[in-house]
């Protein structure tokens, strides 16, 4: 999934076509595709392995649900972090209602839960709505080691 910087629309682009100059299906603007996008990417049970476990750098996975108030409070912070850390951190969003297999595998019992991965390995978890500075403090452990 690649979010259009111009109109915000989500575009599903096959991985093998990312280098072919994709354009937004809604506004026809060329899409900027980077290895670590400046916006959170949506992951599913089917794409989790490719997007998170096979990724060669640090990843923060936000486990959330649309009905969860604290999850909605954290979302703008994660979008800001995705923009600020573009190029060195991937932020992914996993809707636990639609993707129960991955949520179960990582023992998600409360949301929001943020899973931190480095080179495909789960290294830490943050449970509950956290302020930006606290999320960044935990990110420091996977960005510098």
Name all domains of the chain by residue range, CATH numbers in brackets: 1-33 (2.30.30), 36-144 (3.40.30.10)
Q: Residue 29: what pLDDT?
A: 86
Provide CB contacts within 8 A for 145, sequence distance 6+.
118
The catalytic position among 24, 27, 68, 88 is 68
How many Å apart are CA 87 and CA 34, to the nearest integer? 7
Residue-wise pLDDT tens digits, 2-56:
667 677 677 777 777 767 788 889 999 887 665 566 789 999 999 999 999 998 8
Do residues 90 and 36 lie in contact, with contact meaning Cβ atoms separated by under 8 Å? yes
- In the residue annotation, 63 being an active-site residue is answered as no
Q: pTM value?
A: 0.74
Question: Strands 90-95, 41-43: parallel, antiparallel or unpaired by DSSP?
Answer: parallel
- In the residue annotation, 68 being an active-site residue is answered as yes
Residue-wise pLDDT tens digits, 77-136:
999 998 888 767 899 999 999 999 999 999 999 999 999 999 899 999 999 999 999 999
Both tokens assigned to 7: 């109109």
> For residue 112, is the peptide bond before it cis, meaning its omega torsion is within 30 degrees of 0?
yes
The catalytic position among 7, 27, 71, 88 is 71
């Amino acid at each position: 999934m690649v979010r259009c910087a111009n109109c915000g629309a989500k575009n599903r682009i096959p991985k093998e076509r990312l280098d072919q100059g994709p354009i937004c299906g809604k506004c026809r603007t060329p899409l900027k595709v980077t290895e670590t996008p400046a916006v959170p990417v949506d992951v599913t049970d089917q794409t989790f392995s490719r997007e998170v476990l096979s990724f060669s750098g640090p990843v923060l996975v936000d486990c959330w649900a649309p009905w969860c108030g604290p999850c909605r409070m954290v979302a703008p912070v994660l979008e800001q972090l995705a923009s600020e850390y573009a190029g060195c951190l991937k932020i992914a969003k996993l809707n636990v209602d639609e993707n129960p297999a991955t949520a179960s595998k990582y023992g998600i019992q409360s949301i929001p839960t943020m899973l931190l991965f480095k080179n495909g390995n789960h290294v830490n978890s943050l449970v509950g709505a956290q302020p930006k500075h606290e999320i960044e403090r935990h990110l420091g452990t996977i960005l510098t080691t």
